[in-house]
Chains A and B, each alone.
Chain A
């Protein structure tokens, strides 16, 4: 039974008609690129190019260019990898989990969030390829026949699980995103005024004509993909966390890692969606599609996941004490009060304290505060990964090998490269693809207006299978 609340705010405001939805979204794709877009794209591309030059040097010379040493052998590379993968969780979460829960507000943000997911996973993947050192041999991670008697990869290793998890996640997300795009690309195709754009969007829309039969299968495919993606997205960060949790390094060796990493991923992902959507909404004038209601909903998810992350931090401390393992206890005390105390407290402030401000409705519904806090959250999440990785490593078992890690220019520029990569793709997407899923917004358009909804009750119920009949909620 599907239940539609009549007290909810409308999902699309401003009295938009279905025609307006097409106009408002397609306008951005059809118009010539604006000056600000060219500037923003140029800047991202410059970052990509400059970062790429440093990356080329890194490949040529080797990862000795980074500030890694014998003790701290994972630092910014894996920090950035986990950070980007975490950000790359929101898109699938919004489109898959919220689809399964029938949260109709997701329709306005899922397209951009999914695109962001894919680009974030590209960035994460680039760090994986960088950190193996000899990138051209990265295919050795795959179980391919080889001349060493066919020595296979070790399927007992979480690092191999990670290869499978990340590549499956990337390819399934791409398929999910592309299938969602097909009907909208067909809309753009049918509106195209130039032969070239007509041709390109025609190819990309795969000849979609919107027949009911296609829609029926399309809906089934979306639902099953959502059902598959939900455990997938949870498994990906679980497996990422196992890269650490299955080791015996104090500070990594904790069973709480999988749920804690997943909550952190959702937390940072939603923050990134907010950062990007607030800008897109402003620039493309989409205030009627991404309403305050949407922003508030996302902020609520940020409070929930931020609190889960906070509880996880506290639990880790409790368990370190409770385990009575001196190495474990030292690792955690060292995090809080050792030489990297500033990173720890930056993480605590940004991730645990700042999202609690969203309990106030004034802050939760303030665009400026939401924008600032969404960036603060992502800074915090970067520090979280840095704290976990570097502070656990830099105090070795032998005090003679205790060191500090300091990043080199190559560490910084590789990180900058990933930003260039991310924003180059994101700006291309925002210009040449519909940033809002038009078909899905049109489908919820009627439900979002209570008055029209009442009129819908006139459909004869005989045609609707028993379990799909709509019932009104009495509040």
Chain B
């Protein structure tokens, strides 16, 4: 489930940095919001994109050293998990994409 993916990434972020649980979850939520995504529906591909493009600046602003390397490691952790570990939840974009395909 997508919430599990969010929890998984937040836990990994805690391990890689000095951020506590609240800070790591808050940082990720802010990054997701900046990217127009929600923690309950984000999928692994989307998470990897924001870890590459949005999260580094959020971590830097919180004083995390070597934020890019941390994010690269997080992407590696996500990609190292089985593809079916997190079932994609319903996605608004996918639904609206599909509706024109009848």
Chains A and B belong together in one complex: no
Residues of A within 8 A of B (CB): none
